[in-house]
Amino acid sequence: MLQSNISDRVSLLNTRFAETQAFELLQSALVDSQFGKIALVSSFGAEAAVLLHMVSEINRETPVLFIDTELLFEETLQYQRELSEALGLSNVHVLRASEAEVSAADPNGTLHQTKPDACCALRKTAPLLKGLTGLNAWISGRKRYQGGKREQLPLFEAEGGTGRIKLNPLANWTGADTTAYIASNELPPHPLVARGYASLGCAPCTVPAKGREGRWPGQSKTECGIHFDNGQVTKPGASA
């Protein structure tokens, strides 16, 4: 589909759903054929249970893409298995870089120390790109209150050059909204939240902190690079 057509469509979608609640927006996306093939991309992190629960309420067979960088906390891997089972999610796809790719680019497992952007590209961005092949749209859990360029986050984005649309159903949620939803639906929290982790990524690159401040501490890097702009990976050092 031409980029101009996608941009026009996204503009119409943002107008149409501007006042729509997150669950209703997600429901429309998952049942309306106009969105085509769609998947939820989930980190199974601190706030991931919200969208995962909504998806389970609408269609438990919805594809869920989980990127296992093989550097994640063991608690995240366990949470992914347990939450998927508890919610009855039957179509979870675990994405990883191949052994050959990791062996060639990070034979000593130290790439995250020397070239963290390259490590994210290898272990996270490339596997996701493969996982998104053939999809028309994907769902992200990003929110405006998380800061940076996310403060201007729309409900729908045109993923330039890819022919895909990205949905951000929780874009206008607050931290209080997230906390209230998890509590009211009695969703199990990620086990590391109680230890002060508000945002969870790879174990070597994450420390306990508020918001996303615990990601890549001491570096200007604030993103892993799985979001795309005009068909290109967002620079991992940018707050996109």
Domain with residue 39: its CATH number is 3.40.50.620
Neighbours of 120 (CB within 10 A): 25
Q: Residue 215: which of 239, 232, 194, 235 has the closest Cα?
A: 239
Judge whether 108 lies within some domain: yes
Q: Residue 239: which of 120, 151, 112 has the closest Cα?
A: 151
Average model confidence (pLDDT) for the chain? Answer: 89
Could you tell me whether strands 164-167 and 232-233 are parallel, antiparallel, or unpaired per DSSP bridges?
unpaired
Token pair of 115 as six digits? 């070239």
Q: Is the pLDDT of residue 150 over 90?
A: no
Express as a percent the part of the chain with pLDDT over 90: 73
Judge whether 238 lies within some domain: no
The per-residue pLDDT for 2 is 45
Express as a percent the part of the chain with pLDDT over 70: 90
Do the beta carbons of residue 36 and residue 162 sit within 8 Å?
A: no
**Average pLDDT of span 212-237:** 65
Judge whether 239 lies within some domain: no
Q: By mean pLDDT, which of 8-12, 118-122, 198-202, 228-232 is the weakest?
A: 228-232
Judge whether 240 lies within some domain: no
Q: Measured in Å, how far apart are the chain's first and last C-alpha atoms? A: 24
The H or E element that residue 134 is part of is: none
Judge whether 195 lies within some domain: yes
The per-residue pLDDT for 234 is 47
Domain containing 111 equals 3-233
Judge whether 68 lies within some domain: yes
Q: Is the pLDDT of residue 146 over 90?
A: no
Displacement of CA 36 from its chain's centroid (Å): 19
Judge whether 36 lies within some domain: yes
Three-state DSSP state, 166: strand
Q: Which residue has the higher pLDDT, 152 or 127?
A: 127
The per-residue pLDDT for 159 is 85
Summarised one tens digit per residue, pLDDT across range 19-48 is 999 999 999 999 988 899 999 999 999 999
Into how many domains does the chain fold? 1
Three-state DSSP state, 142: coil
Q: Is the pTM of this model over 0.85?
A: yes
Judge whether 48 lies within some domain: yes
Would you say the C-alpha torsion 120, 196, 177, 42 has a positive or negative sign? positive
**Average pLDDT of span 55-83:** 98
Summarised one tens digit per residue, pLDDT across range 73-103 is 999 999 999 999 999 999 999 999 999 999 9
- What residue type is assigned to position 131 of the chain? G
**Average pLDDT of span 190-213:** 92
The per-residue pLDDT for 116 is 93
* Structure confidence at residue 147 as a pLDDT band (50, 70, 90): low
Catalytic residue numbers read 224
